Structure 1
Amino acid sequence: MSAYEAALARQSWSKVTGDGPTHEELVRLVAAAGRVADHSSLRPWRLIELRGDDRVRLGKAIAKAEKDRHPSSKPMRAPVLIAVVASFQKSSKVPHWEQEAVAAGVAHTLSLLLDEAGWGVFWRTGGYTRSKPVAKAHGLKKNEELLGWLYVGEKPADRKPSRRKSVDAEAFISRMPSKKQ
């Protein structure tokens, strides 16, 4: 499958089941995803792999962030969660927004690669991604921000992926305004 075909075929799987990719498979895919455009090669990102009880601890941290007495069940909706972290580096040339874009690019590329490998993927975010309890649970440093999680698992045979509407590309492409305006 070409990159073009992979991008056109990409779908979100809001429910995944069963097993997830092995650590070894993730390492292989992350090595490819990490080749996104990265000004000054800062590599301002890292990923945290959550499996088993890691997901329970995350559920408790989300509950604490939301001031809920019961642990959130959201992290249990997939066998593997991959936390996407923007890990900002000091740079006079590369602003924070650009470094965050690199981290998001790695996450998106990884989601395409996971999909191509046959896994169902859903990128989950929420207000609690930037909360202190969730940051603490992930061991984030002061120079880091959580962008969300890739939920990864088997695609259920009885479900269809979430449908994405086609993009009217012409509506999103324009030319630079002329001087006369």
Structure 2
Amino acid sequence: MDVMTAVLTRRSRQTLNEPAPGDAEFAYLLGGAAAAPDHGSLRPWRWILLRGEDRKTLGESLASEAPPEQRDRIAGKALRAPLMAALVFRPVAGHKVPEWEQMAAASSVAYGLMLLLHSRGYGSIWRTGRMCESGAAHELLGLTPTERLLGSLDIGTADGGEPPARRRTGDLADHVSTFASRPVPV
């Protein structure tokens, strides 16, 4: 699949089943995604992979902070895909590259990874929400006080029951302008 096709056809997939990439394939794809722009080559991110019972443990951790009537539903969310890849932002403090730019680098790696997964036939969906703010999840995943959980990618093979991905189209003229320099009065 060429790059333009991957960009235009990638869609978030709600229903994800086995197989998911193994650790070696994930590392290979991450190697490509890590080629994303990263001023200073800081790599201000890390990934935590959760499979099998580890997803259940995370779900129970998230559910422990919820009202009793929501616990089963919240615990089940961690089981929506065979692989959950949590993205941890670890900014390099005091560096000349500002934190916002480091965050952009981490975000670029996540999107690059989604495109590479799609090009290999995997589906994914970016998840945020409760997990990102959960003290229990942060503790369980071993985040340091300076790290932040940005979200996670649910990864697996897309169920054929979802509609096929369609190309995004539309006029973008109102999102682009051309700078026209004006002479400076003397």
SS in structure 1 of the partner of residue 78 of structure 2: helix
The reply to whether residue 142 of structure 1 matches residue 139 of structure 2 is: no
**How far apart are residue 143 of structure 1 and its match?**
1.7
AA at the equivalent of 1:115 = H
Q: How does 1:137-176 map to 2 (within 5 A)?
A: 137-160=140-163, 165-176=168-179
Aligned match of 1:81: 84
- Aligned CA RMSD, in angstroms, stands at 2.1
2:56 maps to what in 1?
Answer: 56
1:150 match: secondary structure = strand
Q: What CA distance in whole angstroms lies between the structure 1 residues aligned with 2:139 and 2:164?
A: 33
Give the 3-state SS of the residue equivalent to 2:46 in structure 1. Answer: strand
Quote the Cα distance in structure 1 between the aligned partners of 2:61 and 2:180: 48
Structure 1: give runs of 5+ residues left out of the alignment.
none
Alignment match of 1:72 (pick from 75, 94, 104) = 75
**Given that residues 80 and 152 in structure 1 are in contact (C-alpha distance below 8 angstroms), is that contact kept between their aligned partners in structure 2?**
yes
CA apart distance, 1:167: 4.4
Structure showing greater Rg: 2
Count of residue pairs brought into register by the alignment: 180
1:94-113 equivalences under 5 Å are 94-113=97-116
- Structure 2: unaligned runs, 5 residues or longer: none
- Say whether residues 1:118 and 2:99 are aligned partners: no
1:66 Cα shift? Answer: 3.2
Paired residues of 2:62 and 2:130 also in contact (CA < 8 A): no
Alpha-carbon distance between aligned partners in 2 of 1:3 and 1:162, rounded to the nearest angstrom: 15
Taking a change above 3 Å as real, the CA distance of residues 56 and 164 of structure 1, as seen in their structure-2 partners, is: farther
TM-score (norm 2): 0.87
Residues 131 and 151 in structure 2, CA contact (< 8 A), matched pair in contact too: no
